[in-house]
Structure 1
């Protein structure tokens, strides 16, 4: 009977076709599973990947290196633009466009080995430090070439540092980290900022004395940190001098905005304690963040920094060592005495209206030393008037082709000095 049933099924064309299709489907599924498993096994044995998240410092280095390195040529089907817009002190602007590998898959050859680069962007995931989409660059190559990863990263680092050589990097806070803000600026000569006689020399001598005498501080148990307050009228050169000083010392600048939304006492302390090496920390317009203790113990305007939190960050138990802080203000009378007491501010310098010394120096810088009489006429025309160095610079730029006209119209700038 069993033989009769089997014979009936064997003679049924529908059963035979179905069984055949089932067998083919099963075979294909087994083949696909084996292929995927084999591919994974081969990938794990033959290939190696290096993941670089956008939060890592090497992330922009590698993207820039791929597009500019003379030692490699990358094939990139998609590109992203990086626009750098710079405004100079004289009012002119400069815009540069850089092209780097965009999201997608890219291929390049480095020292005889092929690398596949995948740049991914998570649209549903944000970097909480700057609200930008979270990105990742993954480099994949043969396992035998894994030794090239450190060489690649080092070459990218060196190329990035060459871009900064002879320049001052401006850092800004992004969440708990410091990141470069815009393109590095060309170092400005210290003598390009004309100050009242003796001011530049006093500050430079004090900073040099601090930098060169770390052991003196440690031997006497004195906290190794220094604070400076530059105060005075707007446009008197406070920020310009700090930029020039940083370039002269071959330091960078970390600009910290105390009114930044979301800034807390803990993050402030973390930023001050983890500033990049050889950097001056700049707190501009300190009066705009905290005028009096009564108003600031409860709020820091858009930020959540308290006055006591700022004081503790400057010289509290958890405050960092080996730190140089510059504060600037146009209204020193509005600052709480506790903020600028010795230990938090060790040297104060006033940046006032342009002096005859500054006026002469700026006139000669624009028009040369050929006409001393014309220079003295200009200085005399401004006697009894309050004029800032920023206003003077703008005046000289406007009449750069006619020193005589600059002298004739000197009365139009500044304001009469109070009796």
Structure 2
């Protein structure tokens, strides 16, 4: 039998025809699936733009809150509970519904946006101890600017929610996290410092914030350091009217590289506060006198702190406030210009401060009563702190006569 006869017999065989047909159908289906896959990839690469925002990014929570305000078409929600302080001082609870894990949709500036919130159950964020999450935004088109607009709108919305509030951040793991709830900012005139002190600090900080170009044109690093020094209880920390990042240098896990990293990722529009820095940053002259005095301290070194404040790798555009009760204990390299550009003494209460505080607690009293109170205070105690005065006023908060008759209590406070 020749080859032609064999092919002719197979063609007439119904079993062979059915098998060949099935093979053809399977081949066509496979080619079709591959075509759809390649077509989907081609469309995404050529005609779609995608943005992924991981939960470790600063804009992650801003974006979720902003998406919630756009009224996404979903009934699958997650709750984000926050607290805020009212004008009367009451703490109110607010429940914000944000998109839950899954796909959601909304429209923005004539663009159709698909939102997918992903949660990796088997991958944990080490710093927060929560599952790793991300939000993926997808839109048709090739203009990435739409995502810049969305992120900027989300940032502005977040700033509006915190406007007029003081937000405190502390270190959690390898990142900053908000501590407590945003508190209503204290008016500048509520901080009773000596005449002109608050104004000098705030005016200098505002001048720094508005003159980045001036620093750049002159080749000066764009950063500013302040050191507030004086006796305890005199209001050194209260002089700050900004959101505050409290950095605890006493943390045994604080090392040079970690300090560098935390300063570089500090939240915007915040002041980095290093309180009681004399308890950590020792004077090299004192160390030479007593070599064993500082044994057992953490891995943070003086040179590491100096480089973080004013080194080649130190970040710019920041304000750092340091407070100390004993400026004489600080190393001279720490308090030189470039690290501590502004030094402000916050001392014991002056006659002006005593008068202002008395009038604030007892606004109906005459000038003669206030003058007599100041005289009585000075007779009993020359060096009186703002904290001591406030404690006395709180003890007699509705009794101006009682507070005037008991100034001797300042001796024992």
Please, what TM-score do these two structures have when normalized by structure 2?
0.72
**1:191 corresponds to which of 189, 192, 200:** 189
Distance 1:323 1:73, change over 3 A: closer
Say which SS state the counterpart of residue 382 (structure 1) adopts. Answer: helix
Matches within 5 A, 1:294-305: 294=287, 300-301=297-298, 304-305=299-300
Distance across 2 between alignment mates of 1:56 and 1:299: 36
Any unmatched runs of 5+ in structure 1? 1-9, 11-15, 247-251
Matches within 5 A, 1:14-413: 38=36, 41-42=39-40, 45=43, 49-69=50-70, 72-84=71-83, 95-110=93-108, 115-142=113-140, 148-167=146-165, 170-173=168-171, 185-204=183-202, 207=205, 225-242=223-240, 244=241, 246=242, 252-260=243-251, 262-273=253-264, 275=266, 279-293=270-284, 294=287, 300-301=297-298, 304-321=299-316, 323-383=318-378, 384-385=380-381, 387-393=384-390, 395-397=392-394, 399-408=396-405, 410-412=407-409
Distance 1:299 1:87, change over 3 A: farther
Distance across 1 between alignment mates of 2:140 and 2:357: 62
Quick check: 73-82 or 218-227, which moved more? 218-227
**2:226–2:340: 8 Å Cα contact kept in structure 1?**
yes
Deviation digits for residues 29-71 of structure 1 (CA, Å, limit 9, x no counterpart):
98699569737744763766432111223211111012234xx
Distance across 1 between alignment mates of 2:304 and 2:86: 34
Distance 1:120 1:405, change over 3 A: farther
Distance across 2 between alignment mates of 1:212 and 1:113: 36
**1:297–1:307: 8 Å Cα contact kept in structure 2?**
no
Quick check: 53-62 or 38-47, which moved more? 38-47
Q: Corresponding residue for 2:4?
A: none
Say which SS state the counterpart of residue 193 (structure 2) adopts. Answer: coil
The two structures, once aligned, show a CA RMSD in angstroms of: 4.7
Deviation digits for residues 228-256 of structure 1 (CA, Å, limit 9, x no counterpart):
221233332111102x2x4xxxxx54433
Distance across 1 between alignment mates of 2:26 and 2:395: 81
**2:282–2:302: 8 Å Cα contact kept in structure 1?**
no
**2:85–2:184: 8 Å Cα contact kept in structure 1?**
no
Distance across 2 between alignment mates of 1:42 and 1:341: 61
Q: Corresponding residue for 1:4?
A: none
Number of residue-to-residue matches in the alignment: 394
Distance across 2 between alignment mates of 1:350 and 1:63: 44
Any unmatched runs of 5+ in structure 2? 1-12
**1:170–1:254: 8 Å Cα contact kept in structure 2?**
yes
| Deviation (angstroms), 1:359 | 1.9
